Amino acid sequence: MTTPPAPLPDAARANWVDRFAPEALKPWLKLARLDRPVGVWLLLLPAWQGVALACAMSGQRLDFRLIALFAAGALLMRSAGCAFNDVIDRDIDAKVARTAARPIAAGQIRVRQALAFIVVCCLLSLAILLQLGLPAIILGAASLALVAVYPFMKRITWWPQAWLGLTFNWGALMGFVAVVPEDGLRLPALLLYASGVFWTLGYDTIYAIQDLEDDALIGVKSSARRLGRATPLGVAVFYALAFALAVAAGVTAGLGPSVWLFAVFGLILVWQVWRLASKTAVSAPVALSLFKLNIRAGFALFLAISIGLWR
């Protein structure tokens, strides 16, 4: 009898894929990172924030149709993006302890199969995108360039996390223009996007701490390697900019007293920095737990913006 594969290192041991999914489907669900849904949330929440910000500025109720469409789109595009990343990084993944068991690196899924999976996800995403209006469609098409280049950034720059920030927060712009296509991108949306870029730069630097030793051995670059012992200070600066820009977005959008609720977002970021700074060496499990806190941070900001609808 074959022993089922253990959960991947950055997946919860009790995740639903390893516990309940049929064995034949597990590699495909893991290729889509559905055993580790944190990335889906971190891709989705900026889009929800953009929708909420536009609704608040235009005096509309929160558009739950758009909330649902962006949820489906984030799930599909995150799945396609992860599969594409794994195709490009299959040789690197095989040399890194945390990623060696990923389906392509482990030989469970062939490259051609993964490419077919990517095509299907993209076609379904296109069907959703076509329902969002022309400005959002144009922005969605433009985002493909960011997605396509991202897997190569760790080979050419110490700051691939910054490129991920540009990519992951594109939904803030799309969410905004999907609500008010006639207004285009306004300053609050651009400030929210900039806030998200620095937020991602911070949390993905924390995430990269898990791979410091392996990355150094194989020559992969990251902001965590570049910052070294200054990582807590670097993350503090990134998070301070993320908070300041988020507040600026709320103020320029005219959200009123609800901007004070952005403090919850800020406190979650401060807690992460404090934990980083309080340890001489941050272990991989601690880095992963701090990274996962950003789902709460993103939700806190989304809810604070949404409360601005009732000002």
Greatest Cα-to-Cα distance within the chain, rounded to the nearest angstrom: 63
Is the confidence at residue 83, as pLDDT, over 70?
A: yes
In this structure, the dihedral spanned by the alpha carbons of residues 165, 171, 173 and 174, taken in order and rounded to 10 degrees, is: 150
Quote the CA–CA distance of 161 and 5 in Å, as a whole number: 30
Quote the CA–CA distance of 240 and 270 in Å, as a whole number: 9
Quote the CA–CA distance of 111 and 93 in Å, as a whole number: 14
Quote the CA–CA distance of 21 and 230 in Å, as a whole number: 42
The HSE-up count of residue 201 (CA atoms within 13 Å, CB side) is 26
Q: How confident is the model at residue 284 (pLDDT cuts 50, 70, 90)?
A: confident
* Nearest by Cα to 238 from 270, 285, 277, 283: 270
Is the confidence at residue 299, as pLDDT, over 50?
A: yes
Q: What is the pTM of this model?
A: 0.91
Which pLDDT score, from 0 to 100, does residue 18 have? 85
pLDDT tens figures, 186-223: 999 999 999 999 999 999 999 999 988 888 888 889 99
Quote the CA–CA distance of 281 and 297 in Å, as a whole number: 24
Give the chain's domains with CATH numbers.
27-310 (1.10.357.140)
- Burial string for 278-294 (b: 16+ CB within 10 Å, else e) reads eeeebebebbbebbbbb
Quote the CA–CA distance of 34 and 32 in Å, as a whole number: 5
pLDDT tens figures, 224-262: 999 999 999 999 999 999 999 999 999 999 999 999 999
